[in-house]
Amino acid sequence: MTIGERIRGALVALAPLDPADAPAWERWLNDPVTTRYLYGRRGPPDSVATLPELRSWGRQALADPHLVAFGIEETGGGTVIGNARLQLWAWSRARFSILIGEAAHRGSGQGTEATALVCEYAFERLGLREIVLDVDQRNAAAVRAYLKVGFIPGRGDSMRLRPESLRYTTAGASRRSIGS
């Protein structure tokens, strides 16, 4: 599933996931610089991501009641620069993942803001009690972003966030008619 309307922050907007963005996903997932930390220490898959497979993934993500998928757009021009996901688990928990695919948008705070927007949505609208993620510790920029949002390091590559730990707030974000 995905959100119904855009959730706007100062730098990015969370948008409904759109399988029409699959050409961008294909470009991102076939770029070794973009994916160098994406698959963790297990490394990338044996085959490259194809457009039909990614369109299929997008359609499946929209139909999956245990997955909330978000497109990430820059606020200035509306260009899709990445996507994020919450894999919903039992006991009001979820696993978070994010990809800022457009290289020009990395290191600008957009990923941090997108992470905070997703986490706020998860706690406020979905009623989650905890969000967990795995991050390759060599990805120092991602680790800094997660710490800024309020994630607490756990064992190995895991981090977790609870509502009371959320530090980075997006007070200016527009929360009009958010549906899922």
Residue 87, beta-bridge partner list: 67, 95
Average pLDDT, stretch 107-123? 96
User: What residues contact residue 47 under an 8 Å CB cut-off, 6+ apart?
Assistant: none
d(CA 161, CA 133): 9
Q: Give the phi and the psi of residue 72 in degrees, each rounded to 5.
A: -120, 120
Judged against a pLDDT cut of 70, whether residue 40 lies above it is answered with no
Confidence of residue 59 (pLDDT cuts 50, 70, 90): very high
Per-domain residue ranges of the chain = 12-165
CATH superfamily for 12-165 is Gcn5-related N-acetyltransferase (GNAT) (3.40.630.30)
Count CB atoms within 10 A of the CB of residue 139.
Answer: 16
At residue 177, the pLDDT reads 34
Quick one: what percent of the chain has pLDDT higher than 90? Answer: 74
Report residue 178's pLDDT band, with 50, 70 and 90 as the boundaries: very low
Confidence band, pLDDT 50/70/90 cuts, at residue 54: very high
Predicted pLDDT of residue 49 = 83
Contact at 8 Å (CB) between 5 and 173?
Answer: no
- Residue 113 and residue 133 in contact, taking contact as beta carbons nearer than 8 Å: no
What distance in Å separates the CA atoms of residue 58 and residue 117, rounded to the nearest whole number?
A: 21
**Cα distances (Å, whole numbers) of residue 48 to 1, 43, 71, 168:** 25, 12, 21, 35
Average pLDDT, the chain: 89
Amino acid at 7: I
Distance separating alpha carbons of residues 24 and 14, to the nearest angstrom: 16
Q: How much is the average pLDDT of 8-20?
A: 95
pLDDT computed for residue 32 by the predictor: 87
- Of 47-51, 97-101, 119-123, 139-143, give the lowest mean pLDDT range: 47-51
